[in-house]
Structure formats: structure tokens, C-alpha cells
Amino acid sequence: MTKKLLKTWQKPSITPHQMGTLNKFGRPVSGDYVEKIDGVAVSDLLREYGSPLFVISEKRLRDNIRQMKRAFESRYQPVIHAWSYKTNYLNAVCATLHQEGSWAEVVSAFEYEKARALGVPAERILFNGPHKKRAILERCVTEGARIHIDNLDELYLLDTIAREFDKVTSVTLRLNFDTGYTEDWSRFGFNLGSGAALDAAIRIGNSSHLKLRGLHSHIGTFILDPRAYQVQVEKMCGFMELIEQQTHALIDSIDIGGGFASQNALQGSYLPTEQVVPTMSQYADTICGTLLKMTAQREAQGKPRLKLILESGRAVVDDSEVLISSVVAGKRLPDGRASYVMDAGVNLLFTAFWYNHKVKHTRPLQGIPEETVLYGPLCMNIDIIRQSILLPPLSVGDSLVLSPAGAYNNTQWMQFIEYRPAIVMVHENSLVSVVRRAEKLEDLNGFESLPTHLNGQFKFAE
Ligand SMILES: *Cc1c(COP(=O)(O)O)cnc(C)c1O
């Protein structure tokens, strides 16, 4: 049955536009719209799986990691890619990347267990992060995962465990230092400048059961200037020479962490993403070029070639996933701006706090674009998925595709007020699988138990 939609009356408003150039609302949205995702109609997806809905493109995910591998491996070998679980630890996403050869990079006992349960061998897991309790360290030592030591307490505990289990354990030291291009992340790992890193390396050198084999640092995130990585590689290689001279350490790998920017628009950035985000080739050129230069002498001495380890998260997954959200209601604000209540908010699109996501409609829209606010469904003032965007008038039921949404949303989303919706993956043959079903009341109540005396007998006021 087709329905004829009556046009609703809206209070007229005037919005000044400087078409063709940047104005304070950013660039005018283009008239193009997304009807299909990898060959599957958005309307079919919503009919089948409901709204809101996360949609992952398996093809884009594979293309992204393959492109990154090509960019690096054509300039340096061997390179190991380790998938940063916290960026998106859906099993379907991790499994796709493991099929493409990526190892797992985890930062908690939960993530370690998730990787192991998915079938990742311990020797293919890198364990970062400041919080590793004894039980999980014991498991890592027995299973042979590579632990990246964050602090002295961890170093002592690990040494104790390795001796108790009488297991010689290869470890990596996490370093921090000023690159001149990135923020101060001195809370993670050992500082180079203060001497803490050298001190830690010497302590490991004195241990009978710990062997220092790797150096790691993760200097920041959404790094827009590749020169940050040049400084990073230079400093790490300089430190490597120092400790190889002063201790018995023989380093097998330099792990430069993640931090490559994705195709997302940081709030406050006025230039279009394509103009500010370096290409994978630009990152790879700087990193591999510096590494080759810094290790030439070492290789001439006959030392084995270093493995370059990358832990890129957002740049791999961000643009392979979108969030589709529908208009629940429209409301003209007192100052004349258009606003809409959407069925997805910061509960699902956590990254709306710092990105201006691309917003595309899913059908051609008539009408003049005007300044619009997109609110989420939460009864909470900060639930805004877009403070200001130019959009033509929308109707209840219209859906919008918000992207990129693949990084740090399915892990940082919160079950607050609303259920979390389904996540589907569109495969390369345009078939669709549910990779995480929508939450139900039983799921959430399943965590709780009600003390017997609180069960019923409610005495409601009249
Ligand atoms: C989060 C994290 C990454 C991934 O960072 P991106 O900015 O998403 O590339 C890599 N390594 C470590 C240690 C991390 O904590």
C-alpha cells in the first residue's frame, strides 16, 4: 500500500549562506545520497534489522588492510600488523583482519581472553596497557604472549612470575618521549629523557628469566603530521643502540603503535578531511625511510633485520562501518533552527563528541538546506550527534547514514537508557549477516538478581 504524505507547515526561517565557500556551518552538504551499501538497499536493511543499525562492509575492511600492507611492505620487510582490539573488537571484525594476517593487540585481560577465544595463538598476541593483574600475566607467561611492560611494578611482578614458572620470557618495553609533534603521553610506559627507560632495560638485563626483545611506543592518535613518526623511529632506534651496547638485549622488533588518522573530520578542523589526512603511502614513506636509514649500520654489523610492528586501529576500520539512524520527530527551535530527534545518539555514536561525521540521506530530498541540529534519543542534554549541519527538511521515518563509524563506537558505546541495536556485516557477495544481534530486556536483566524480599509486594501510593 502506498501512502500519500501531506506536507507539514513549517515556520519560515532565514539562514544566511555563503554558497561555494566555507561558512561557519562548514561546506554545504552535497546533494548525493546513499541508497545502497555494497549493493544492498538501505531500506531493505532497515526493514529486516530495524533502526538504528550499524552496517559493516567486509570488502572495505579487507581493502583497507590490504592497502596498508601494500604501502608498507613495498617499502620495508618484514612488517607485522597487529589489530588494535579496543578500536573494534567485534569477533567478525577481528576475524576478518586475522584472515588478512593481522596479529592481535590487546590492552586488558578481557581483550586477551577474547582474542584467545577467537582462536588467536598466544604468540600472535601483543599485550599492552597499564593494567595487567597477576592472573592474566601468569596466563601470558605460560602461553607465550608478548607482554609490553608499562611500569616497574609490572616489571617486578612479571620477573617473579617468570621465575616461579621457570619460563624464560621475551618482553617488550613501552617507551614514551616527546616527539615535538604529539601530546605528552608520559603516563604510559617508561620515559626516555628521564632515564627511566634505560633503568628498566638494565633491570630486565639483570633478570635471569626476562629477555628484552622488543621496543614499543604509541605516541598519539589521529596524527596528521608524518614527521611525528620520523622522530619516533629515530628516538626508538637511538635507544635500541644504547641498550644493545649497555645490556645483553638483542632487539627483534620496533613497534610504533597506531595513530594514523582515519577519513573522519575532527571538530574544529575547517579543511576537508582529504586535505589534512596523510595517505597511507605518506605515512609509510616516512616510517620505512627513517627505519632503513637508522638500521643500515646495525644490519652491516650482521644483526638480524628488525620486524616493524604496526598497531593501526582507526585508519583500518573507521570507514568500513556506518550507522544508519532514522528521524523520530522534528522540532523548530525557538531561534529558528531546524532540529530532529534521531533514534541514535551518543549512546551509540560515541565519537560524535569529537568528530563531525558525514551525514548522507538515503533518498533524494527536496527543499532548501538550512541549519539543522541532530539530537539523539536520550533524555539528556549532551545527546547531540551534530550541533550544526546544513540539511534539507526531513520527515519522520527518513533515515540518515552517519559515517565513518567503525572506530571506537562499538567498543565505547554505552547501554544507557536505550537498547543497543543490531550490527550487520555486508559480505563481498552482497549477502548480509547479523554479527551482533540487538539487545533485549532478558539480556540486560540477565546480569541482575533481585533479593527475595524485594520481589513484589510493591505499595504504590494511590
Ligand atoms: C589504541 C591503541 C592503538 C590504536 O590506535 P589508533 O589511533 O586507533 O590507530 C594502538 N596501540 C595502542 C597501544 C593503543 O592503545
Domains, the chain, with CATH or none: 36-55+319-439 (2.40.37.10), 89-312 (3.20.20.10)
421 Cβ closer than 6 Å to some ligand 1 atom:
no
CA distance 157 to 251: 22
Q: How far is CA 338 from CA 13, 106, 345, 354, 433, in A?
A: 9, 43, 17, 22, 36
User: In the chain, pLDDT over 90 holds for what percent of residues?
Assistant: 90
Question: Which pLDDT value is given to residue 11?
Answer: 64
- Mean pLDDT for the stretch of residues 201-217: 98
Distance between Cα 130 and ligand 1 center (Å): 13
Q: What is the dihedral of CA 208, 214, 219, 222, to 10 degrees?
A: -140
Question: Ligand 1, atom 8: nearest CA belongs to which residue?
Answer: 313
Q: Which of 83, 105, 260, 320 to mutate to test the pocket of ligand 1 (most atoms within 8 A of CB)?
A: 105
Whether residue 196 contacts residue 233, with contact meaning beta carbons closer than 8 Å, is answered with no
CA distance 448 to 187: 36
404 Cβ closer than 6 Å to some ligand 1 atom:
no
Question: Which pLDDT value is given to residue 1?
Answer: 43
CA distance 68 to 83: 12
Distance between Cα 217 and ligand 1 center (Å): 10
Question: Which pLDDT value is given to residue 19?
Answer: 46
Question: Which pLDDT value is given to residue 9?
Answer: 62
Whether residue 100 contacts residue 62, with contact meaning beta carbons closer than 8 Å, is answered with yes
Tell whether the model's pLDDT for residue 5 goes beyond 90.
no
406 Cβ closer than 6 Å to some ligand 1 atom:
no
Q: Tell me the three state secondary structure of residue 41.
A: strand
> Is 447 buried (19+), middle (13-18) or exposed (0-12) by CB count in 10 A?
exposed
CA distance 141 to 125: 12
Tell whether the model's pLDDT for residue 150 goes beyond 80.
yes
Helix, strand, coil % (nearest 5) of the chain?
30, 25, 45
Tell whether the model's pLDDT for residue 121 goes beyond 60.
yes
CA distance 224 to 212: 31
259 Cβ closer than 6 Å to some ligand 1 atom:
yes
264 Cβ closer than 6 Å to some ligand 1 atom:
no
Question: Which pLDDT value is given to residue 269?
Answer: 83
- Nearest to 115, CA basis, from 139, 133, 134: 139
Distance between Cα 384 and ligand 1 center (Å): 26
Grid cell locating 408: 571506537
Question: Which pLDDT value is given to residue 268?
Answer: 85
221 Cβ closer than 6 Å to some ligand 1 atom:
yes
91 against 22, higher pLDDT: 91
Q: Which of 64, 81, 87 to mutate to test the pocket of ligand 1 (most atoms within 8 A of CB)?
A: 87
The reply to whether omega before 12 is within 30° of 0 (cis) is no
Tell whether the model's pLDDT for residue 108 goes beyond 50.
yes
Distance between Cα 222 and ligand 1 center (Å): 10
Tell whether the model's pLDDT for residue 337 goes beyond 50.
yes
Distance between Cα 241 and ligand 1 center (Å): 26
Distance between Cα 406 and ligand 1 center (Å): 14
Distance between Cα 79 and ligand 1 center (Å): 17
Tell whether the model's pLDDT for residue 21 goes beyond 90.
no
Distance between Cα 257 and ligand 1 center (Å): 6
Distance between Cα 158 and ligand 1 center (Å): 23
257 Cβ closer than 6 Å to some ligand 1 atom:
yes
81 Cβ closer than 6 Å to some ligand 1 atom:
no
Question: Ligand 1, atom 10: nearest CA belongs to which residue?
Answer: 258
Question: Of the ranges 39-43, 266-270, 341-345, 359-363, which one carries the lowest mean pLDDT score?
Answer: 266-270
Question: Ligand 1, atom 7: nearest CA belongs to which residue?
Answer: 259
Atom of ligand 1 nearest to the CA of 258: 9
84 Cβ closer than 6 Å to some ligand 1 atom:
yes
pTM, to two decimals: 0.92
Could you tell me which residues come within 8 angstroms of residue 191 by beta carbon, excluding any fewer than 6 positions away? Answer: 175, 176, 177, 197
Q: What is the average pLDDT value for the chain, to the nearest integer?
A: 94
Tell whether the model's pLDDT for residue 453 goes beyond 50.
yes
pLDDT band at 14 (very low <50, low <70, confident <90, very high): low
Question: Ligand 1, atom 11: nearest CA belongs to which residue?
Answer: 257
Q: How far is CA 208 from CA 171, 245, 310, in A?
A: 13, 19, 29
Distance between Cα 92 and ligand 1 center (Å): 19
